């Protein structure tokens, strides 16, 4: 099938690559000429495991192309995926300008029946806005949106985890499709069913529903996962206060099959492109409809406060004035297996350390280029602080001359470090662990002063 993907971010690029991988003819559109140049030169503008290999194969087979030509994109695909960004507006609502501009372009250039698929995360009712914009543009061209010029707008939310997006797409646990019941909708349903057939061979994973329910499902899913994270983070702070171990608590409640273990890990707050903005957007949708989602308001507040917890542990141990102190920071991306720095906890932590006069030596396996760009913007008006932030090429380099180590992202390479080397490099054998990678008792036995999230602080040496 001929597919057009509008937007080459995480969702658009993964969607386009995976659909090309199973044999479709895919054209990916982006208005960012720099991105398209990178892709046409064989590069990949984002870090996502497995994506580079798929793009290399599908480029070589001629099944995927990249363009900035809007007219070519609309004319190419019988199915048009809208996968552009929906950043938060000032009030927390999703900014739909890029979605509606994509819809407007489809209306301007469509030359036959089109299935328009909202893949972007959008508020309930967006499909109707898209429908209105396309119809308006068609009529401005003197075209009635019926018969061969009809179109249908579907909602097909993505459930891709950054760092595992390719696997999530190729082996989905569900495919949610919101489809209208009219004649165009039924035609669109058959086309999208055929497109997704290769993913349903073992058993049908498709959940059909009305369009508004599909739009709601995406926000509800992310809100539930964010709630679990904030719930455990809130409990971890109470565990600190009462002397309980949040890891033992996690195992105790996670063993209940009604609860399970997923997203029950305490840490230093969630980030990324989805949870923060989707929680805000759903809460704003509620307010616009005269309702308050009080739980989600608390989820957001807890997450915001959680990003200060590590700073609190550091200042309690080492004082508010950190001038003359150097901290090694392991992990900058908001999660492992990505270079995404959006809402990353490291940004808040490093900003707080620099504000208190500290020097920071930071390392991340893949996010260093993006980190340099992001912190240059974050600290553009604080050049003296930026001078005290040093990005280094290895976790060992980060330790050199540091007073203490702070762990922010749970990359695999941080899970079993050379503790003897670590102790020899640090001026003080102190670790502040925002991801609970190690056991407090084991650290005490090694003579390391270890501070984790919601876990007991064990004095050393252990008898």
The enclosing domain of 158 has a CATH number of: 3.40.50.720
Q: Has residue 457 been placed in a domain? A: no
Q: Is there a single domain that holds both residue 9 and residue 112?
A: yes
pLDDT at 463: 43
Q: Is there a single domain that holds both residue 255 and residue 391?
A: no
pLDDT at 461: 61
Q: Is there a single domain that holds both residue 112 and residue 234?
A: no
27 has binding-site annotation = no
Q: Has residue 295 been placed in a domain? A: yes
Q: Has residue 33 been placed in a domain? A: yes
Q: Has residue 178 been placed in a domain? A: yes
86 has binding-site annotation = yes
- pTM for this prediction: 0.92
pLDDT at 462: 47
Question: CA nearest 436: which of 266, 305, 317?
Answer: 266
Q: Has residue 357 been placed in a domain? A: yes
Q: Is there a single domain that holds both residue 354 and residue 392?
A: yes
Q: Has residue 458 been placed in a domain? A: no
Residue ranges for the chain with pLDDT beneath 70: 460-463
450 has binding-site annotation = no
List pLDDT tens digits, range 435-451: 999 999 999 999 999 99
Q: Has residue 331 been placed in a domain? A: yes
266 has binding-site annotation = yes
Q: Is there a single domain that holds both residue 289 and residue 400?
A: no
221 has binding-site annotation = no
Give the end of a domain, one of 274, 305, 336.
305
Residues that are catalytic = 274
Q: What's the start-to-end Cα distance of the chain, in Å?
A: 68
Q: Has residue 194 been placed in a domain? A: yes
9 has binding-site annotation = no
Would you state the structure tokens that stand for residue 291, as one six-digit string? 């309702």
Determine the structural domain holding residue 433 and report its residue range: 307-451
159 has binding-site annotation = yes
Give the end of a domain, one of 143, 175, 209.
209
196 has binding-site annotation = no
Number of structural domains the chain divides into: 3
């Amino acid at each position: 099938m001929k597919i057009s993907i509008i937007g080459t971010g995480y969702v658009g690029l993964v969607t386009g690559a995976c659909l090309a991988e199973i044999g479709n003819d895919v054209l990916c559109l982006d208005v960012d000429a720099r991105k398209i140049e990178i892709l046409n030169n064989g590069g990949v503008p984002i870090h996502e495991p497995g994506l580079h290999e798929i793009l290399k194969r599908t480029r070589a087979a001629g099944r995927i192309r990249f363009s900035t030509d809007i007219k070519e994109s609309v004319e190419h695909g019988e199915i048009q995926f809208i996968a552009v960004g929906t950043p938060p507006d000032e009030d927390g609502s999703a900014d739909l300008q890029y979605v509606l501009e994509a819809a407007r372009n489809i209306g301007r250039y469509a030359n036959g029946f089109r299935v328009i698929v909202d893949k972007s995360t959008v508020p309930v009712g967006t499909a109707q806005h898209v429908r209105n914009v396309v119809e308006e543009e068609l009529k401005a061209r003197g075209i009635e949106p019926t018969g061969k010029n009809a179109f249908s707008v579907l909602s097909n939310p993505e459930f891709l985890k950054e760092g595992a997006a390719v696997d999530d797409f190729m082996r989905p646990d569900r495919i949610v499709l919101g489809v209208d019941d009219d004649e165009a909708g039924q035609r669109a349903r058959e086309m999208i069913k055929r497109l997704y057939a290769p993913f349903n061979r073992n058993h049908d994973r498709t959940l059909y529903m009305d369009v508004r329910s599909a739009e709601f499902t995406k926000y509800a899913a992310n809100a539930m996962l964010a709630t679990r994270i904030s719930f455990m983070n809130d409990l971890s702070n109470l565990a600190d206060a009462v002397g309980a171990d949040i890891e033992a608590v996690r195992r105790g409640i996670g063993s209940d099959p009604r609860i399970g273990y997923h997203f029950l890990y305490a840490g230093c707050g969630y980030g990324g492109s989805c949870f923060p903005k989707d929680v805000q957007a759903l809460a704003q949708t509620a307010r616009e409809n005269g309702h308050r989602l009080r739980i989600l308001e608390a989820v957001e507040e807890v997450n915001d406060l959680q990003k200060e917890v590590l700073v609190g542990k550091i200042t309690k141990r080492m004082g508010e004035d950190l001038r003359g102190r150097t901290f090694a920071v392991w992990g900058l991306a908001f999660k492992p297996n990505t270079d995404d720095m959006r809402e990353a906890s490291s940004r808040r932590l490093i900003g707080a350390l620099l504000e208190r006069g500290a020097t920071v030596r930071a390392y991340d396996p893949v996010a260093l280029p993006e980190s340099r760009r992001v912190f240059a913007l974050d600290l553009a008006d604080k050049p003296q602080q930026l001078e005290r932030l040093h990005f280094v090429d290895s976790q060992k380099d980060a330790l050199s001359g540091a007073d203490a180590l702070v762990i922010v992202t749970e990359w695999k390479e941080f899970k079993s470090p050379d503790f003897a080397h670590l102790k020899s490099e640090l001026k003080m054998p102190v670790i502040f662990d925002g991801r609970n990678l190690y056991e407090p008792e084991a650290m005490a036995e090694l003579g390391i002063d270890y501070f984790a999230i919601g876990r007991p602080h064990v004095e050393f040496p252990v008898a």
